[in-house]
């Protein structure tokens, strides 16, 4: 049961974050590295039950649904989201085994599995870590808000993600209002403009300004520590703690109103925007792409590939959408769309649909000799 729960929490929608400098500055004043770092712990476990509809229209509710917030630029710089190598995972587990002699083998295995799955690399053969949505945010301190939002949209499209990543994801616009420094009437007026320009996927996030809250404050709450951190991050944290001779390091805190505002925004983002967006994508791809593959023409094409695809002729090669040079399919090809369909169904826990599409793809990928895709499916 523990391993099943861990895997459910590991495979969740990834949401990229692309924000203005003033928004990151506000987050740093609160003790976070940036705005993404502030969202991250509250996205791991969304408050309350989240309702998801499967491909048959049947609704199910889950109390363990989450999202993973990642920096949009990370996909360009390192070709992976926040994560680490297997060597770092093994080093971390070895360190815990040396320090916690009373620990059980199961505990160390669960730690190994969690850190291994803490960040899936951005890879061509699966789309679990490809962004489902992107948070574009500014703060009420910004002097040219609408222009900045447009510039963020434009600069986000110019981020050089790998060619196999589909950039047609949901944009979610956030205005962070500084409760202590700025006028809420002006922010409400600006927020109305945002909704007119960018649609309904917008949120007004009201936060207190200034330095970090401390535990002694009456309304301060401790920020939950992220469970899905990379091995490299945990190793760095252990090293930092060992180097600090003070035994009691103050926990990071926020005013209760800030924590409630972040929790509410992330729940609304998931339930009202991201999950319905994924459900619509699943319905569209299932109807327009997968249904054709399941039909007579799809079966005939599969049979043609099976019996004539190994001849090495130019005709059979041109019939395949697989590019052996990049070892990938372009995001617009039916194979890539079906893989994304299956992955979205998996993330939404529509196991029957996901399994059926993976089974269809397994044959197609094998015929194309796309072996990593084949193994993944």
Return the pLDDT at 1: 64
Whole-angstrom Cα distance, residue 309 to residue 70? 40
Return the pLDDT at 242: 65
Return the pLDDT at 216: 65
Return the pLDDT at 312: 44
For 366, phi and psi rounded to 5 degrees? -65, -40
Q: Tell me the average confidence (pLDDT) per consecutive run of 10 residues in the chain, 377 residues long.
A: 88 98 96 96 95 96 96 70 71 88 80 87 92 98 96 94 94 97 96 95 92 71 91 85 59 93 98 98 94 63 51 51 95 96 98 96 96 96
Assigned token pair, 318: 């041109």
Return the pLDDT at 294: 77
- Specify the pTM: 0.89
Residue entry with tokens 């093994």 = 90
Whole-angstrom Cα distance, residue 278 to residue 13? 9
pLDDT tens digits for range 146-196: 999 999 999 999 998 999 999 999 999 999 999 999 999 999 999 999 999
DSSP letter for 219, please: T
Torsion, Cα of 75, 329, 336, 151 (10° steps): 40
DSSP letter for 182, please: S
DSSP letter for 159, please: S
pLDDT tens digits for range 260-301: 999 999 999 999 999 999 999 999 999 999 888 777 445 445
CA angle 39, 5, 337 (to 5 degrees): 70
Q: Closest Cα to residue 166, out of 217, 215, 129?
A: 129
Whole-angstrom Cα distance, residue 202 to residue 210? 25
């Amino acid at each position: 049961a523990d391993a099943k729960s861990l895997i459910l929490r590991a495979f969740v929608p990834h949401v990229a974050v692309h924000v203005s400098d003033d928004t990151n500055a506000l987050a740093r004043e609160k003790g976070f590295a940036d705005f993404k770092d502030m969202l991250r712990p509250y996205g791991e476990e969304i408050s309350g039950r989240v309702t998801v509809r499967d491909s048959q229209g049947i609704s199910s509710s889950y109390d363990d649904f989450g999202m993973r917030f990642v920096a949009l630029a990370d996909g360009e710089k390192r070709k992976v989201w926040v994560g680490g190598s297997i060597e770092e995972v093994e080093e971390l587990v070895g360190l815990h085994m040396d320090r916690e002699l009373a620990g059980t083998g199961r505990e160390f295995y669960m730690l190994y599995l969690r850190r291994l799955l803490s960040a899936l690399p951005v890879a061509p053969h699966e789309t679990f870590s490809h962004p489902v949505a992107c948070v574009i945010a500014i703060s009420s301190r910004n002097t040219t808000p609408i222009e900045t939002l447009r510039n963020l949209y434009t600069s986000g499209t110019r981020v050089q993600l790998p060619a196999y990543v589909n950039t047609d994801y949901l944009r979610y616009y956030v205005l962070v209002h500084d409760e202590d420094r700025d006028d809420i009437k002006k922010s409400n007026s600006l927020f109305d403009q945002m909704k007119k320009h960018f649609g309904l996927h917008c949120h007004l996030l009201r936060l207190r300004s200034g330095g970090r809250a401390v535990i002694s404050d009456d309304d301060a709450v401790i920020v939950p520590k992220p469970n899905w951190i990379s091995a490299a991050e945990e190793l760095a944290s252990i090293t930092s703690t060992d180097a600090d001779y003070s035994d009691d390091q103050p926990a990071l805190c926020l005013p209760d109103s800030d924590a409630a505002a972040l929790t509410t925004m992330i729940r609304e983002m998931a339930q009202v925007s991201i999950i319905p967006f994924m459900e619509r994508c699943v319905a569209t791809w299932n109807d327009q792409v997968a249904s054709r593959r399941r039909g007579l023409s799809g079966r005939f094409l599969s049979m043609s590939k099976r019996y004539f695809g190994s001849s090495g002729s130019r005709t059979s090669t041109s019939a395949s959408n697989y590019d052996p040079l990049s070892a990938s399919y372009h995001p617009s090809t039916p194979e890539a769309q079906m893989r994304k369909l299956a992955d979205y169904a998996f993330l939404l826990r529509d196991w029957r649909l996901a399994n059926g599409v993976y089974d269809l793809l397994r044959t197609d990928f094998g015929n194309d000799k796309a072996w990593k895709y084949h193994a993944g499916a």
